[in-house]
A and B are shown apart, each in its own frame.
Chain A
């Protein structure tokens, strides 16, 4: 365990997203969790170094860049696209994405000019960690979980996506261990682009279904 006054994680975070956080006193939850972790370490149930390694993995190693590589490969390699749509669990392993936790049964859903797919978990927060990392707060929030199934077009409009009436909206409520990812449509004007350049156009939101692939000029 680090000593009680060790705030190295807090400082690290403050550089990224919250410049006041480093000066703030530890929150009630910070103290409660620290005490809990100390108790479990004393009992030999957890190894603090192993916990830090887990945190590092989820902060820095898994994330939507994995899914973006999968989508970019599907856009450039028709045979891979076929394999991905038939058995995404096996296809992502080809790209070194470990199915592992929250990705043992993965299904890829392709957006087309006729069909727009949207993924939600109304009962909790199921999400394809293997390709997208941990879900954003809004995905786990009551507003999204409650509304995505009854008013998907309204939710999409709030994300700036107007789905024409003639396009079918398919919502996927992740009620089992099967995880869903969306393969967005390839942006126009990207003919001849490399897989790596295309991957930069694939956003997390586009793989949940609340966004589209970025326009080519956004990659500049």
Chain B
């Protein structure tokens, strides 16, 4: 979905502020949220893709305001309520319902084999898709031409698993995009951005 999480290439989000001697957790509760989240995965009720999509469904203004582990905690509650592990009444007003429920994935109708349809060196063009559901094809890399630089084998398609549509394994490719292809003629002619992209995202260029 074209949410606030898909922020590659945005301006105006401020400077990068590194912290010297940063602790692993700034507050005790952050470690507990991490541990609860990892415990949650062990219940086998949701995939990592569904979990990531849950973050994306937090409204953009809240997404940008919340701290990292606040988003994790919020998503965990939403997933638990959705899976029937806890009720809204049990978690109480401290954890109000957050975000939209209904989003729709985009999955191509074409047959995709687990054997790679592209080879290293092939020119590919990413599809221009704008699903309201989960995807790992960021906005800044849609409709762009790149070159396959590595084959990663077959991986489950997050666009499907995030929506409970099963483990659709597809070839995953590392694709190199020249910076000027993504950002225009003012970008460095020497630089490049690589993304890992599923077969469903790609066409021959």
Which A residues fall within an 8 A CB radius of B? 7, 9-10, 13, 16-18, 21, 27, 29-37, 39-40, 43, 45-46, 50-52, 54-55, 58-59, 63, 101, 105, 107, 120, 122-125, 133-134, 136-138, 140-150, 152-153, 155, 158-159, 165-178, 205
Contacts and interface: CB of A to CB of B under 8 A. Distances in A.
A176 B152 contact: yes
B140 A150 contact: yes
- Place the interface of chain B in its size category: 35 or more
Interface of B: 5-11, 13-19, 21-29, 31-36, 38-39, 43, 48, 52, 55, 64, 68-70, 73, 76-77, 85-86, 90-92, 94-95, 136-138, 140-141, 150, 152, 155, 158, 172, 174, 182-183, 187-188, 190-198
B203 to A, nearest CB: 17
Contacts of B85: 43, 45
A169 B28 contact: no
Instruction: Point out which of A10, A101, A144 has the most chain B C-beta atoms below 10 A from its C-beta.
Output: A144
Contact of B36 (A40, A107, A177): A40
Contacts of B152: 105, 176, 178
A165 to B, nearest CB: 7
A141 B21 CA distance: 17
A137 B67 CA distance: 9
A82 B76 CA distance: 41
Contacts of B64: 142
A171 B194 contact: yes
A150 B31 contact: no
B90 A54 contact: no
Given A123-B138, A149-B140, A136 B28 contact: no
Contacts of B48: 177
B32 A33 contact: yes
